């Protein structure tokens, strides 16, 4: 029987899906993911959030606080813990847009909710289990609204599944639980539902924030390849894409400076059925714009890093 710590993905597998190494922390994270997927409170909130958005499309109304109050509350929390600088905020149009940012830490959506303009109201498309995996987050997001939960497998869970398929028998039970309880989020029905929700938001003149890398980046200043969904949403609706660089959020500590750097809006003709080459061209342009906004020579601050471990896990 192979030990779960002896298994390592092949180079070909790592290149194809960029899986994390099968270290103890990877396995523990996969176990956490299964626990979150089985949480009835989280699942109820996820379904409610999606159902409410669909109800609005059919003419219903969403009970929510104003974007101004939401931003004020979250800004109070974020600014108590960190020093925040926003650059080039004047570049943000006063219209419906798609914000596209790099992603380094689970604090990122909360940071953006605290710093981006309150009007038009914007919604964040984010990983469902990460957003709803703790009581304080569920309470905060029930109050704040504006979340579109995206259900998908984590890379740690995929690593465990691959290990089990390759003969790592002591991960067989965990792999079976992942298969049974963790939603893959790639069914035609779920993708169509998500598209209806996003297009409905744009049709109301509101905005959407998402992280087109689709997962957390590993290094400050380096952008992962982008998923095509963000570009397809923008092309189908005709809304501008506003690139955003988040700097300093990979490793958090008390009073660290975090930077939100806004890029020039990217405007493209509306196209209900964009072709693959058109989507790829826009995706490449978006990638280039976000990468150029990032700090290529970023250096982590020296000195004491108070509450580092606590803050890096607070938003997990």
**pLDDT over 90 at 188, yes or no:** no
**pLDDT over 90 at 50, yes or no:** no
- Give the span between the Cα atoms of 136 and 190, in whole angstroms: 27
pLDDT band of residue 18 (cuts 50, 70, 90) is low
Q: What are the boundaries of each domain within the chain?
A: 11-314
pTM to 2 decimals?
0.84
Architecture of the domain made up of 11-314: 3-Layer(aba) Sandwich (3.40)
pLDDT band of residue 14 (cuts 50, 70, 90) is very low
- Give the span between the Cα atoms of 133 and 44, in whole angstroms: 12
Structure-token pair, residue 210:
């998402």
Average pLDDT over residues 213-227: 91
């Amino acid at each position: 029987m192979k030990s779960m710590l002896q298994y390592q993905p092949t180079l070909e597998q790592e290149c194809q899906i960029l899986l994390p190494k099968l270290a103890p922390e990877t396995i523990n994270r996969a176990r956490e993911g299964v626990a979150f997927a089985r949480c009835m409170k989280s699942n109820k909130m996820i379904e409610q959030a999606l159902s409410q958005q669909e109800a609005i499309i059919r003419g219903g109304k969403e009970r929510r606080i104003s974007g101004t109050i939401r931003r004020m509350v979250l800004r109070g929390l974020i600014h108590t813990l960190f020093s925040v600088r926003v650059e080039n905020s004047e570049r943000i149009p006063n219209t419906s847009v798609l914000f596209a940012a790099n992603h380094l830490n689970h604090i990122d959506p909360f940071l953006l909710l605290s710093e981006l303009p309150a009007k038009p109201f914007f919604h964040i498309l984010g990983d469902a289990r990460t957003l709803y995996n703790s009581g304080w987050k569920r309470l905060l997001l029930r109050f704040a609204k504006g979340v579109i939960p995206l259900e998908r497998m984590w890379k740690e869970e995929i690593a465990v599944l691959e290990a089990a398929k390759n003969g790592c028998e002591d991960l067989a039970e965990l792999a079976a639980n992942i298969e049974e309880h963790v939603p893959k989020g790639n069914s035609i029905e779920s993708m169509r539902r998500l598209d209806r929700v996003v297009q409905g938001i744009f049709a109301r003149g509101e905005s959407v924030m998402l992280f087109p890398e689709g997962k957390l980046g590993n290094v400050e200043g380096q952008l992962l390849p982008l998923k095509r969904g963000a570009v397809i949403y923008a092309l189908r609706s005709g809304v501008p894409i506003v690139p955003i660089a988040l700097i300093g959020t990979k490793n958090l500590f008390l009073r660290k400076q975090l930077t939100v750097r806004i890029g020039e809006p990217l405007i493209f003709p509306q196209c209900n059925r964009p072709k693959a080459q058109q989507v790829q061209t826009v995706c490449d342009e978006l990638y280039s714009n976000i990468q150029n906004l990032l700090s290529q020579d970023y250096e982590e601050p020296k000195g004491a890093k108070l509450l580092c471990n606590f803050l890096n896990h607070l938003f997990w």
